[in-house]
Amino acid sequence: AMIINNSIRCYRRAIRDFPPLSKLFKTISSRSLATEVTIKYQGPVACIGINRPHMKNCLTPHIAAKLKEEIEFLENNDNASVGVLYGERGTFSYGIHPNDLQTNSNIYEEILNTGLFDKFPRKPIVAAVSGYAIGLAFDLALWCDFRVTEDTAVLASYARNSGIPSNHRLIKRLVSCVGSHRALDWLLSGRPVKAKEGLEAGAITRIVACGTGTELFQSGFHLR
């Protein structure tokens, strides 16, 4: 019964058609958390979590700067060999929140100015994607070396839908992964890309079952 209930919860999170942006964010509160990026080490694996679940783990300049700081610490830590980047409480990230964009029209530029995307990391980073990776979060997943997703995960550029551009360096990586024609389809349509399609196209490295988050972290151990 527990397994059945877990499966039901997982598939309720999955979607058939990508909902409008307004529906995605309709249940979010305005509460803030003190620690929006968590870090814990499991042997040589650094598990870095985006911890803003009340805002669907949406990115901010503060979060981007903290991620950059933790990645740089990982790269200079002789006892760590790989990082796993994930979103707390079942969602990788919804990119930039409309409320944040409304209160700060320069938020996209401020996130880029943190330097997070200026270069690819020297040590391998695994994007452990559950739930959604939308907009700038899709770019963040592409910035990682590997993308391991749950089978109900959804990726989407959403740039044309939201008016927030994709990073040119990460567009090049998407093209190298899936080819120019498919990349144009994903970028210009902004349509949702489910895990199976992403795997078949080459954008996703591996798929694990919904609810098996431990396997996402174990993927880091295979890269030691």
Cross-strand partners of 84: 47, 126
Residue-wise pLDDT for 62-81, tens only, equals: 999 999 999 999 999 999 99
- CB-side neighbour CA atoms (13 Å) of 80: 24
The strand ranges marked E within 68-185 are: 82-87, 125-129, 132-134, 146-150, 154-156
Q: How many CB atoms lie within 10 A of CB 44?
A: 17
* Alpha-carbon torsion (150, 153, 159, 162), positive or negative: negative
Whether CATH 2.60.40.420 fits 30-221: no
Residue-wise pLDDT for 160-211, tens only, equals: 666 677 778 888 999 999 999 999 999 988 899 999 999 999 999 999 998 7
Domain ranges of the chain: 30-221
Using DSSP, state whether 80 is helix, strand or coil: coil
For the residues 24-43, what does the mean pLDDT come to? 63
Residue-wise pLDDT for 87-101, tens only, equals: 999 999 999 998 999
* Alpha-carbon torsion (174, 70, 91, 44), positive or negative: positive
Are the beta carbons of 110 and 61 closer than 8 angstroms? Answer: yes
